[in-house]
Amino acid sequence: MAFLVDDILLAPIKAIVWVAEKLEEAADEEMSDESRWHERLLELQIKYELEEISEEEFDREEERIMERLSSIRDSKE
């Protein structure tokens, strides 16, 4: 009987933990998806060509994206 009461009382907490774990998994998957980072690089190039960002901003962001892509490739090896 005590276990049933514990399960009922802890169910909302367990549900929140489960949702948090799923969100973390989705975030990790998105951050390690090379195609998403390639899209960001393309978007950055377009912004630069349309003169929406400066060359300094472009260089800084391009370096960050390239580091992330390199990190993703290293982790896959």
Helix (H) or strand (E) holding 33: none
Q: Whole-angstrom Cα distance, residue 18 to residue 69?
A: 29
Residues 6+ apart with CB under 8 A from 62: 41, 44
- Give the count of beta carbons closer than 10 Å to the beta carbon of residue 36: 14
Q: Whole-angstrom Cα distance, residue 42 to residue 7?
A: 50
35-67 tens-digit pLDDT: 888 999 999 999 999 999 999 999 999 999 999
- The confidence score (pLDDT) of residue 1 equals 55
pTM more than 0.95: no
Main-chain phi, psi angles of 40, to 5 degrees: -65, -40
